[in-house]
Structure 1
Amino acid sequence: MTDIRLSRRRLLGATGLALAAPSLVLAEQKPAPIVVNRHNIAGFRTHRWQDHFDDLGKGVIVADTEARALHFWAGNGKVERIFPTSVPRTDELTKRGYTKIVRKKVGPDWTPTPSMLKENPDLEYMPPGPHNPLGTHAMYLSWPAYLIHGTHDPRKIGRQSSSGCIGLYNNMVEQLFAMAPVGTQVHVI
């Protein structure tokens, strides 16, 4: 009886191998195509600070709205970091050019802008806290109403989801906040 069981197992194993063999042969002959979901990735590219600024000064940031990434270099040239970001929903909301960090705040409060209220009249002032759209830290730019800030909604990162600002995960904006002093040069491209 033992021999019959082994024979049945061998027969089942051989059948499974025979059924899989054509797939194995095809897999060896032709590599599987690489499938890329273009809806979930950005056209990432790296930057050199020298292509955007004459010197590092206190530090520099390149916020790439197409790649949805923020590049940071410290003033001493030793720290380079890249952070994934959220970017403005539309091109009309995107301000591009040179600016700088003029103020920083831990636990920012949020007031909707007139254009936000026009789009959604139900929006109201929000004090610092876990549901604040600016997250845990904010860096105000020399352009009024444009910031680099955290977000209470991590699903926004990597997407066109803001009303003009550059958003980062809260833990990452906290890191950037500690490294980028007031006066850090910013280029939004």
Structure 2
Amino acid sequence: LLLPLSFILPDAPRKGIVINLAAMRLFQFKENGRSLSVSTYPIGIGTSERPSPMGQMFIDRKMFRPTWYVPASIAEDHRKKGDPLPAKVPPGPLNPLGEYALYLSKAGYLIHGTNKPSSIGLRATNGCIRLYPEAIKRLFESTPLRTPVHIVNQPYLIGQRDGVVYLEVHAPFEESGADPLEKVYTKLRNMEKKLGRAVDWKRVEKVVAEARGIPVPVFELREGSERRSAEIIELRHPVLLYGKPEVPELRTNAWYVLAATLPDRVDAQRLAAMINHQGPPIPARVISNDRHRVIAGPFKDVGEAKDAVKRLKIDLGIDGILVEPVKEI
């Protein structure tokens, strides 16, 4: 598992909050005397149908435990799917805004938490910017009103550190229009002339093709630079993952929902994790014998189980099957 620990900053003012939609990442700049620090958080962004806005904005207001007033367009979408929403959703586990919200000066758009952590890193919102619950808490507490917010869409990023030039590439959005890749090539050629060092163009082509979102050195490396750029940090896997929902023990007197039967255990575990991280979470586990069954539950009664079936269909397109409690003889 490769985790990026370095990121190239987007080409934007290093002040307040900068969001790069292509990287699905938020950068927070804080001045401390003469120094400037930056914190970064992964985000979820708008879909292609309802994209997140771009441009210069600011934090207009802040709200702890916000109420979600459902926009008419979203209410209509849910009505068509057979999932009607109330006019407003109060604070709590059903509220998609989570516990903290930063309202942008562009009306209708927020930076907020979520009750669906699995949506972070995806184009899954109606245009707002989502953060993990623990991340939005830190951002909320450290962001004053009127903080500038600059939202950009930059899939190609070039940066330098310790004499090494890096290229970071993210897959461009299909609806973005003109591909700015030629501008990146021009910038690299200009740097090649200015620095008097050759660009490894084969590596550039590979980085662009793979679009892994990881900074990769693309110039001929000076002596000693390769070791720094390739340094690997070994991380210990935590015993308990932060925010991982606890799945209750199996009970024979409870209702369950069979979400899927899959031949591959990893696929089954992945699906169970997705269900566990729905908002609010639906407990799910994998039960294996010759095949791997993804079971959601336990549920206290048939009504709760049917509600889970409905949510699995609407949120994930899964046709769940009700499993009745074991009858006592």
Name the TM-score, length of structure 1 as normaliser.
Answer: 0.69
In 2, the alpha carbon distance for the partners of 1:103 and 1:184 equals: 10
How far residue 114 of structure 1 moved from its aligned partner, in angstroms, is 1.7
Instruction: Quote the residue 2:24 is aligned against.
Output: 68
How far residue 159 of structure 1 moved from its aligned partner, in angstroms, is 0.4
SS of alignment partner, residue 68 of structure 2: coil
Instruction: Quote the residue 1:46 is aligned against.
Output: 8
How far residue 45 of structure 1 moved from its aligned partner, in angstroms, is 4.8
- CA deviations 1:165-186 (Å, max 9, x no partner) are 0000011000001111111100
Instruction: Quote the residue 2:127 is aligned against.
Output: 164
Is residue 152 from structure 1 mapped to residue 110 from structure 2 by the alignment? no
CA contact (8 A) 1:83 1:168 kept: yes
How far residue 94 of structure 1 moved from its aligned partner, in angstroms, is 2.2
Instruction: Quote the residue 2:221 is aligned against.
Output: none
From 57, 73, 89, the counterpart of 1:115 = 73
CA contact (8 A) 1:45 1:67 kept: no
Which residue type is aligned with residue 24 of structure 2?
A: R
How far residue 92 of structure 1 moved from its aligned partner, in angstroms, is 4.3
| CA RMSD across the alignment | 2.3
- CA deviations 1:52-93 (Å, max 9, x no partner) are 22x73xxx1111111110000014354311000000011643
Query: What pairs with 1:97-136 in structure 2 (closer than 5 Å)?
Result: 97-121=55-79, 122-124=84-86, 125-136=88-99
Instruction: Quote the residue 2:150 is aligned against.
Output: 187
Change (3 A) 1:52 1:133: same
How far residue 130 of structure 1 moved from its aligned partner, in angstroms, is 1.9
> Which one is further off, 110-119 or 74-83?
74-83
Which residues of structure 2 form unaligned runs of 5+? 153-329
How far residue 147 of structure 1 moved from its aligned partner, in angstroms, is 0.2
SS of alignment partner, residue 63 of structure 1: strand
SS of alignment partner, residue 107 of structure 2: coil
CA contact (8 A) 2:45 2:51 kept: no
CA contact (8 A) 1:74 1:180 kept: no
Which residues of structure 1 form unaligned runs of 5+? 1-34
In 2, the alpha carbon distance for the partners of 1:97 and 1:118 equals: 28
In 1, the alpha carbon distance for the partners of 2:69 and 2:137 equals: 21
In 2, the alpha carbon distance for the partners of 1:91 and 1:64 equals: 18
From 39, 48, 51, the counterpart of 1:93 = 51
- CA deviations 1:139-163 (Å, max 9, x no partner) are 0000111000000110100000000
Higher relative contact order (CA 8 A, sep 6+): 1
SS of alignment partner, residue 46 of structure 1: coil
Change (3 A) 1:92 1:109: closer
How far residue 46 of structure 1 moved from its aligned partner, in angstroms, is 2.1
